[in-house]
Amino acid sequence: MEKEKKSSSKSRAPYFYLLALILLLLFSNMYLFYKKNTLEKERDESVAFLEGQKMQLQEEYKAIEEELNIFKEENYALDSSLTVMEGDLDLKKEEIESLLSKNSSTTGDLSKARLLIESLRDDLDSFRDQVQALSEQNQLLTQEVGELGSENKELNQQKEVLIVKTNELSRENVKVKQEKQQVEQQKQVLEVNNQQLQTYSQDVMAQNTGLRENLDEVKVVFKQQKEAIVELTDQREQLVEIKHELEEDRQELFTEKIELEEKKEILEEKKEELEDNYKVLTEEKEKVIEEKEKVIEEKEKVEEVNEEMQRKLDIASVMRISGVDFKGVRYKKNGKELVSTNSKKTDKLKVCFNVKPNPVAEKGEKLMQLRIVKPGGTVLYNEALGSGVLEMATEEKQVKYTVENYIDYNHVPKNYCMYWQDPAYSEGEYKAELYNGGVLVGGSSFAFKK
């Protein structure tokens, strides 16, 4: 049973494949038929569209062709250079007509025809522009021709004026020639007269030659005589002037002689008087010299006395002081001043003194000079802080001082203090000397403890 089933199934298998193949062919034919109808429909629609486009292009081409023909007829005579462009346009027209005359034009043909029509339109526009330009040039040429015509008229008028002037000049030339002939005739007559005058002049000159020679001789003699007369006249005038000058000189000499004699007498008298005066003056001079020497000696003595008195007066008028107190001081933070005997803790050196009344001294400011000598004999000295040099009144000597101050003296006892600050102080004895007017008026000393 199983073998029969297997053999029956094997025998039916080819029928199934054949049926499937038939069905496949059927469906394929149906699809092809549908596709054919669709393509034919699309082809008909495309052909109709292309035909419509073709007709539209033909209408556009006809319009352009008509416009071009009209334009060519109106403007063909303007410029022969347009014939080249016209040939290009004809070629494009023929190509467009060949494309549009086909019974079954393709899309490519129509596109090419469209491009040619657009190019034809552009060429037409260019053709118009060139024609317009040529028209404008034609108008300019017409204007220039009109201007040249007017200029030609003006030139013709000027030509006529020149012809008239030329005729006038010709007539004047004839007159000039006639006058020239008359002048030539007069010139010939004058030449004849001139020759006659020359002949007559030569005769006269020949006659006058002898007279001129005689006249020259007479002139020479006359000139010599005239010069001699002038010379004699000048000499006479010079002699007269010399005579007058001699007379004047003689008078002046005589007058001067008299004046000199008078002056001589006066001088003699003055000489005697001066000699007498000289003797008197000499005696007086000797007396004056003796008196002068006595006066000089007395003056020198008086000056010596005055200088000594002035020196004594200066010394007597110096400040009188007492109670000189010399010490070191230091300062607390509150500014209070304390006495210091330690050199390392000392801030300043202080010198106080009392001024006593001096009836010889005048009131007013008095200069006090303090001289501080530190251990070893060196004077504390700093010019930047007021130190200087003073002249001693009692001897010709200069000494250095440490500091100076002015005090107000009023004949009243008063206490004054002077300070000096040094960067550092040494152990040992310090001395203080007070000067007024170059005189040592007081002093004191103290020592820092070790």
Domains of the chain: 16-28+30-146 (no CATH), 317-448 (2.60.40.10)
Pair of tokens at residue 223: 């000139």
- Pairing outcome for strands 348-356 and 414-420: antiparallel
Read off the pLDDT of each residue in 206-232 and give the average, rounded to a whole number: 66
3-class DSSP state of 77: helix
- For residue 318, which phi and psi values (nearest 5 degrees)? -70, 165
Please give the C-alpha separations between residue 115 and each of 69, 71, 121, 328, in angstroms, as whole numbers.
20, 22, 10, 129
Q: Sorting pLDDT into bands at 50, 70 and 90, what band is 402?
A: very high
Please give the C-alpha separations between residue 122 and each of 115, 131, 135, 414, in angstroms, as whole numbers.
10, 14, 20, 132
Angle at 421 between CA 343 and CA 387, to 5 degrees: 130
Residues near 373 by Cβ (< 8 Å), separated by ≥ 6?
Answer: 379, 380, 430, 431, 432, 433
- Sign of the Cα torsion 199, 204, 210, 214 reads negative
Residue 99: name the closest of 54, 47, 136 by CA. Answer: 54
Residue 47 has pLDDT above 60, yes or no: yes
Residue 229 has pLDDT above 80, yes or no: no
Residues near 50 by Cβ (< 8 Å), separated by ≥ 6?
Answer: 105, 106, 107, 110
Per the CB < 8 A criterion, the answer to whether 416 and 432 are in contact is: no
Instruction: Give first-to-last CA distance, the chain, whole Å.
Output: 159
Q: What is the pLDDT of residues 419-439, one digit of tens each?
A: 999 988 999 999 999 999 888
Q: What is the pLDDT of residue 403?
A: 95
Residue bearing the bigger pLDDT, 102 or 381: 381
Read off the pLDDT of each residue in 139-155 and give the average, rounded to a whole number: 64
Q: What is the pLDDT of residue 432?
A: 95
CA 438 to chain centre: 68
- Sign of the Cα torsion 204, 207, 212, 213 reads positive
Helices (H) and strands (E) counted in the chain, each on its own, are 3, 10
- Report long-range pairs for 388-393 (Cβ below 8 Å, ≥24 apart): 390/435, 390/438, 391/438, 392/438, 392/439, 393/311, 393/314, 393/315, 393/437, 393/438, 393/439
Q: What is the pLDDT of residue 27?
A: 79
Q: Sorting pLDDT into bands at 50, 70 and 90, what band is 130?
A: confident
Residues near 105 by Cβ (< 8 Å), separated by ≥ 6?
Answer: 50, 54, 99, 113
Q: What is the pLDDT of residues 352-370, one digit of tens each?
A: 999 998 888 888 899 999 9
Please give the C-alpha separations between residue 342 and each of 4, 245, 331, 333, 348, in angstroms, as whole numbers.
156, 117, 13, 18, 11
Residue 222: half-sphere exposure toward Cβ, Cα within 13 Å: 6
Per the CB < 8 A criterion, the answer to whether 155 and 124 are in contact is: no
What pTM was estimated for this model as a whole? 0.36
Q: Which of 112-116, 170-174, 229-233, 388-392 has the lowest mean pLDDT?
A: 170-174
Please report the DSSP string for 405-431 in residue order.
EEEEE-SS-EEEEEEE--S---SEEEE
Residue type, position 317, single letter: S
